[in-house]
Amino acid sequence: MTPQYPHASMYRTTEGLGLWAHRGKVAAVGVGHSPTARRWDGNPETCVGAWSILALRKAIADAGVAPDQIDGLILDPVTTTGAYWPEGAPVPMDVVNAFKPTSDLLDGIAKLSADWILQNMPELTNIQFVMYAPRCMSHAVVVAAQAVGSGLTHTCLVLKSWHNFEGRYYQGGANAQDAIDGTSAISRLWGTPASYGTALQFAEYCRKYGKTHDMMAPFITNSRRNGLMFPEGYWAQHRPEHLTAEDYLAARWIAKPANLFDNDIPIMVSAAYLFTTPERARDMKHKPVYILNHASSRGTPRSLTPTLDEVEAETSKTGRKLYEGAGITAADLSFENTYDGFTLFHQFHIEGLGYRGMKHGDALDFYQTDISISGPNPVSPSGGNIGSGRSRFWMHTDCIQQLQGRAGARQVTGVKPEIAISGGPMPLGGNFTVWSATPG
Amino acid sequence: MILISFDIDGTLEVGDPPGVLTMAMVRRVQKEGFLIGSCSDRPISAQRAIWAQHNITIDFAVGKMMLPDVKARFIADVYYHIGDREDLDKRYALDAGFEFLWPQEAIVQPWFL
């Protein structure tokens, strides 16, 4: 089956669209995660394909649905942003031959096609709809919401996987070549770290509003604390280390004012969700979490890097789109789970949402108050990428689990979990979802 | 007096990835009266926890760019930093006026044998 790419009409990118036509008519029920690892150990059972299968099977079992009832699969075929198979390195044929391979021998190792998944999951006998949603789970989630809502699929698996290899992230691929083309020839010519654009925006933010980088410390400690209560996460599984304010403030700069702990740690991991209609969800194993709306940012900067003004305008617009389509206001949010990988743009997202009445410039002061899961104003209860490693999906899993009441030690207690927003990655260029414990 | 700063990941056996220097070697030089500690990208609190888990009392635990602080704080005849990265260990060490050793160079030093 040839996967489709989403048509532009599947996204809600502008204001004035009114209530989302499928508001409350799409539900997430099952969640499945693979284990995590810092890097691939070279074994077949831990390659990105194997862990994808594991996550998918867990999501299916978690939902309590028969595999032959599943008719849709949405995934990201790209499984990294910065770890590439070394040019000329031999392909490990023992790994390739441990599965049913496709014509691309690195499929399932350094990338992931729908064909590879379907060839290696024979129980998925009824897949009628396959779509690619590149870049991150936030993208796959909004595409899945629209696909289920519009009837393209009624029971759909949503998958995002990440591989990581030996060596330094972002040092291979195009960055290892002698020449670079396209826009990158200008924007990345000087070998800037990935976080530099966000760092520039944050520096301007601090100047404009009279804030300091040190004021990020409570957000960082809160995120790691929450992450250590995420048993699916990297830090909880491998290095249960808290990040103290002292740790954060002593870290070296990566792109000042972004320091080491403002950047996330690349890992290997897969996650899958099972989306369906409310009618079908009734017979499944867990309480459905309904999607009230989704919205996407497709803002483009005037120059190489978005300015703070452009960032603030775009995040406010995203907030308005989300509320308009969901038929809610900021006051309806129980908590927020917007993206944090890099930490220094989390405040742009939540100020754009107007979370707890915030306006631009307020978030760092807000971080000095009780933002824990036990307080009245939880910030990033998932802990995000800082809390559990680079996946870009902890926020979605957390929203589902919180609203189902099965977030375990991470369960918010200071508020009743009813409505939440997750999404990202970037303030300009992201996909966001409004989740609800009820269909609205 | 000799001061040795140890990187952790890729240098010590407890690192990720593990390095060639064992905690027994660290204990040996400490017993000889060396000043010892770690200089790593690991959180400072996590560095301290690693040493505590191995019952080694350190003189310092700092971030990568804090070797100048270590030099200012301790008087020694020679300052060494042992690490596995050109940019994050060797460069910082030399900039701070430390002698630099790769782990495979360090392991054959007489103090560790």
pLDDT of residue A132 exceeding 90, the answer is yes
Domain residue ranges of chain A, discontinuous segments joined by +: 9-168+267-281
Q: Does A243 touch chain B (CB under 8 A)?
A: yes
Q: Would you say residue B55 has pLDDT above 70?
A: yes
- Is 70 exceeded by the pLDDT of residue A91? yes
- Look at residue A1 in the predicted model and tell me its pLDDT: 79
Whole-number pLDDT of residue A304: 86
pLDDT of residue A189: 67
Residue at A345: amino acid letter: F
Interface of B with A in 1-60 (CB under 8 A): 16, 41-46, 49
Considering only the beta carbons, identify the residue of B46, B62, B64 that sits closest to A241. Answer: B46
Query: Among all residues of chain A, which has the CA nearest to that of B14?
Result: A239
DSSP string covering A162-210, please? E---SS-TTSSGGGGSS---TTHHHHTTT---TTHHHHHHHHHHHHHHT
Least confident of A1-5, A34-38, A98-102, A111-115: A1-5
Contact A330, A361 (CB under 8 A): no
- Answer yes or no: pTM beyond 0.80: yes
Note the pLDDT of residue B44.
97
Task: With a cut of 90, say whether residue A318 has pLDDT above it.
Answer: yes
Q: What is the mean pLDDT of residues A276-282?
A: 98
Across chain A, what does the average pLDDT equal? 96
The number of C-alpha atoms within 13 Å of A353 and in the hemisphere containing its C-beta is: 31
Among A38, A239, A247, beta carbon nearest to B44: A247
Q: ipTM score here?
A: 0.92
Instruction: State yes or no: pLDDT of A343 exceeds 70.
Output: yes
pLDDT exceeds cutoff 70 at B105 = yes
Across the interface, whether the CB atoms of B16 and A242 are under 8 A apart is answered no
Q: How far is A245 from chain B (nearest CA, A)?
A: 10
Choose the CATH number for A9-168+267-281 among 1.10.599.10, 3.20.20.80, 3.40.47.10, 3.40.50.2300: 3.40.47.10
Which chain B residue shows the shortest CA-CA distance from A238? Answer: B16
List, as own/partner pairs, every contact residues A397-401 make where C-beta atoms lie below 8 angstroms and the sequence separation is at least 24, other chains included: A397/A31, A397/A33, A397/A232, A397/A271, A397/A273, A398/A230, A398/A337, A398/A422, A399/A289, A399/A337, A399/A433, A399/A435, A400/A28, A400/A31, A400/A273, A400/A289, A400/A435, A401/A31
Check residue A41 and give its pLDDT: 97
For an interface test with B, the pick among A39, A224, A241, A253 (most B C-beta atoms closer than 10 Å) comes out as: A241
User: What was the pLDDT predicted at A173?
Assistant: 80
Q: How far is CA A434 from CA A90, A286, A371, A395, A407, in A?
A: 45, 19, 20, 12, 18
Domain that residue B28 falls in: 2-112
**Of A242, A243, A252, which has the smallest distance from its Cβ to B63's Cβ?**
A252
pLDDT tier, A437 (very low <50, low <70, confident <90, very high otherwise): very high
> What does pLDDT average to over chain B?
97
**What is the number of domains present in chain B?**
1
| CA-based R_g, chain A, Å | 20
**Chain B positions in Cβ-Cβ contact with residue A248 (cut-off 8 Å):** 43
Pairing of strands A419-425, A335-338: parallel
How confident is the model at residue A176, as a pLDDT? Answer: 81
| Mean pLDDT calculated for residue range A243-247 | 97
| pLDDT at residue A205 in the model | 98
Closest alpha carbon within chain B to A244: B45
Percent of chain A with pLDDT over 70: 100
pLDDT confidence of residue A62: 98
Q: Which residue has better confidence, A180 or A383?
A: A383
Mutate to test the interface with A, among B47, B48, B65 (most CBs of A within 10 A): B65
Q: Name every chain A residue with its beta carbon within 8 A of the beta carbon of B41.
A: 251-252, 260
Q: Please report, for the domain that includes residue B62, its CATH number.
A: 3.40.50.1000
pLDDT one-digit tens code per residue, A169-225: 888 887 788 887 787 777 776 778 899 999 999 999 999 999 999 999 999 999 999
Q: Which residues have C-beta within 8 Å of that of residue B91, sequence separation ≥ 6?
A: none
Q: Does the beta-carbon distance from B46 to A38 stay under 8 Å?
A: no
At A191 the pLDDT is: 74
Q: Are A312 and A52 a contacting pair, CB within 8 Å?
A: no
**Backbone torsions φ then ψ of A352, nearest 5 degrees:** -60, -35
